[in-house]
Amino acid sequence: MSIFPQRETFSYCPETKDKYGTVTPGSTVTYSGAIERERTFASDGSVISKGTIYTVEDFEFKTDVKVVVDGVDYYINTVEKYVIPGYTYRALSYV
């Protein structure tokens, strides 16, 4: 049983940057998760995130990496890991 049913997919698109600043796209990987498409705003009205992905994938996601949700490119803003006895999931906020 899962707190967040993993019924949707998203693509994680890592990039590497060499010492000269050249960006090279890495291999895009598709993961499953539950995607919440709800915008979050700060008290001053600025956008904190455009949505959150809840995933149980055992992978160390990083911030500032491109994710593709519903065919639209976003970037991970925050990665939070939660551990409940017998269950681990990550919340990836994206902008």
d(CA 79, CA 71): 21
Walk me through the domains of the chain, giving residue ranges and CATH numbers: 8-94 (2.40.10.270)
Residue 49's contacts (CB-CB under 8 Å, 6 or more residues apart) are 39, 40, 77, 78, 93, 94, 95
- Residue 2: what pLDDT? 62
Quote the mean pLDDT of the chain: 92
64 CB neighbour count, 10 Å cutoff? 8
Mean pLDDT by 10 residues, the chain (95 residues): 81 91 91 94 92 94 95 96 91 96
Bridge-based pairing of strands 87-94 and 51-55 is: antiparallel
For the entire predicted model, the pTM comes to 0.87
Beta strand segments in 1-95, E: 8-13, 15-17, 23-25, 29-36, 40-41, 47-49, 51-55, 66-69, 72-84, 87-94
